[in-house]
Structure formats: structure tokens, C-alpha cells
Amino acid sequence: MKPASRAVHAGRELGARSPLAPDLSPAAVHVFTDLADYDAVARGEKPGHYYGRNSNANREMLERAVAELEGAEAGVATASGMAALHGAILALVPRPTTVIATRELYGGTAALLRQDFEPAGYEVRFVDLTDLDAVSHGLQGAGLVIAETITNPLCGVPDLEAIATMARERGVPFLVDNTFATPLLCRPLDLGVTVVMHSATKYLGGHSDLVAGVIVGDTKTMGVARARSARTGTPLGPFDAWLALRGLRTLDVRMRRHSDNSLALARAMQSMPGVQRVHHPLLETSPSFSVAHRLLPRGAGGMMAFDLEGGRSAVQRMIKRFQLATFAASLGGVETTISYPEITSHRSISQAERTELGVGPGTVRVSVGIEDGADIIADFTHALSE
Ligand SMILES: *Cc1c(COP(=O)(O)O)cnc(C)c1O
């Protein structure tokens, strides 16, 4: 099956009289009449569920669906993207080691590494992963590499294929946060990546109404992550799993529209008054253009950013004038939203660090929604007009 069809059907097998939409199964516990039967289910030798922290029908459907879409053997769904990331790191490197991470890392991930992993003895090195010489150098003595398919907020695209080759040669596992691209636009495991994580809060769910995470990879690593998630109590609840799976069904059509709308808005913004620079992976002016063209042949999703002359007051003026877009500190929903990295995703790092990353007081990140593209362009045109 092609990816669009998989998105509609993955994770379920229907038989005669099956409900076409999955039932919601909120049960915390299942009853058994046979001790040996319970024992076999608890050992994982027979299918079925016994206690909700260990497994649940809705969570299992979502895990299978995301694994199938990413081309992975197995998946583990967690209560948030951060729980997924934490679980993935501990499954890959349970003991302190050196972690190489992309310089433009998602703020929550950077905070997790600095505030939870560093005090536990891990050494974290932030490297510009679009610079392959720096990657090669950084890999010496490293125990794990963490990258994002598309970086936040300036939408750089590291060459995952080249990094995966270098990492594999040195036996270093490679973890990729594929939240911004989704498996409909990029499948990092096909490029040689070890484990993929998602904040399903964003595009997989797609409707800004749930918080969830998923990791996918080989059966052994996922088994380790699943067991720890059960022990530490981070699994995803049934209703959020049900919602995420429901969101997944329309992923292909949403990602196409997000991709078309974001590129159209990025192009239009290049000539809007007060706009100094537009960041989108598939604009010819992007430093990542050729890598993005190769790794994201179906489009780059809905994320883009721009730098506005006049800094914070110009951004404030624009927000007040929007009629369609809203300011909200998340992304990946059907609605067009903007975020202001200086006080949202990048608030925990110093101004000097922000400047080094290219994030200034005029930098605005846009999560372009699936409204009519002309309406979105008209809204930004009006909000930025003199
Ligand atoms: C939102 C996000 C996360 C964290 O996910 P939560 O679901 O908020 O815990 C991690 N990585 C990226 C790229 C994100 O956008």
C-alpha cells in the first residue's frame, strides 16, 4: 500500500462485523478465568491486555499504525512527546555517555538534556548538524546523536542520510525527532536512522486537542522502552490514543495542504513590507534547499519562519491585526498559528545564544494551517500592510 492508503488503514485488521471506527476501550483492567491464560498474556506470549499501564487496545492500534507508517518493527506510545524522547534516549543509552545534538534543538529537548541528563553524568554537545565536518568531529567518542528532520524555528534540514552513514560506521545510534515532517514526508529509518520519535501532539494528531508521543524502531529497543514506560508510568491514555489514530487517518491530505500553503505563503512573504528574510526549506534561498529537495520530495510540511523589521513591537502590531491567524505556542494543527520564539520555544536560552542561532527580536515562526491558501496570504498581507 502507498503511504496515503496506509495512513487510512494502518494499525487495524477488520473482519466481519468489526466496527468500522475503533471502539474506545478505557478499561484499566481485564478479567481472566484461567490463571495460565493470564500468565501467557502477561508474558506477551498471547495477544490481549491485562492492565492499562502495560497495554491497552487503543494505544496498541496507534503504536502499530505509526510503526507501519515509519517502516519500523514496533512502536511505543507515551503520554507526551517529551516522555517519548526521554524513553528513547534511555532505551538507546541507559548509561552516561556523550550526546551530540543539533544546535537548533526543540527547547524542551534542550532543557531535558541539560536539566535531567547532564546532572546524571551525560555530556551534551550542541553541534551544527548541517555542517558534516562538525558532525564527523563531534562523533568522536560520542554515544548518541539526536537530530530533527526540520529544525525549529529556522527550518534547516540536516542531511540525515549522510549523518546516519557516519554514525553507523562508528557504531553510534542515531535518534531523529520527525515531528515536523511526519512519515508522510520523510521516513528517517529508511535513511539509516536507529529510532524515530514524534510529538503526536502536532501533525499526527493534527487538531490541537491532545498531548501524546510515539517512538518507533526495532523490536528489541522498543521492548526496552515499553517495559520502562510501564515501570515509570508514562504510557498514553486510551482516549488520547483514539484521537491520535483518528487524526492519523487524514495525515496525507493534511500534509499536502500544509506543504502547499506554507510554500505559497513563504513565497508571498518575500515581497511583503517589513519582511527581512523568509525561512522555508524549499525556498531557493534556503541554505538547506538541496538537502530538503532530496529528503522531502513530497513537500516540507507547514512550518516556516520570517524575520520582521522593527522587532517585538512590529510583531505585536501584526498579531493584533490578524483576522485568521492566532498567536499560540504550539504547532501542527489545522489552524494557522504563529509563535514568537523569543518568549516561547527559545525563552530558556540567553539572548547571545539566540543571536548565534539566528533568532532575533523580529523572528516569527508560522505553523501554516489547512485553510484556503489565498485567505492565509491575505491575512498576512493585511496584518503587515502600512
Ligand atoms: C512539541 C515538540 C516536542 C515535545 O512534545 P510534547 O508532545 O509537547 O511533549 C518535541 N519535539 C518537537 C519538535 C516538538 O515540536
Candidate of 78, 104, 146, 201 to mutate for ligand 1, largest count of ligand atoms within 8 Å of Cβ = 201
CA dist., res. 104 & res. 147, Å (int): 9
- pLDDT per residue, tens digit, the chain (386 aa), is 999 999 999 999 999 999 999 999 999 999 999 999 999 999 999 999 999 999 999 999 999 999 999 999 999 999 999 999 999 999 999 999 999 999 888 989 999 999 999 999 999 999 999 999 999 999 999 999 999 999 989 999 999 999 999 999 999 999 999 999 999 999 999 999 999 999 999 999 999 999 999 999 999 999 999 999 999 999 999 999 999 999 999 999 999 999 999 999 999 999 999 999 999 999 999 999 999 999 999 999 999 999 999 999 999 999 999 999 999 989 999 999 999 998 888 887 788 888 888 899 999 999 999 999 999 999 999 999 98
Task: Tell me the three state secondary structure of residue 212.
Answer: coil
CA dist., res. 167 & res. 191, Å (int): 12
Residues 26/28/30/35 CA torsion (nearest 10 deg): 160
Number of other CB atoms surrounding residue 352 within 10 Å: 8
267 in catalytic set: no
Domain locations in the chain as residue ranges? 24-248, 251-383
CA dist., res. 284 & res. 264, Å (int): 13
The one catalytic residue in 53, 256, 298, 312 is 53
Q: Is the CB of 129 under 6 A from ligand 1?
A: no
Number of other CB atoms surrounding residue 46 within 10 Å: 12
How many A from CA of 82 to the centre of ligand 1?
6
Q: Whose CA is nearest to atom 1 of ligand 1?
A: 199
Per CATH, is 251-383 categorized as 3.90.1150.10? yes
Per CATH, is 24-248 categorized as 3.40.640.10? yes
Q: Is the CB of 177 under 6 A from ligand 1?
A: yes
Stated pTM of the model: 0.97
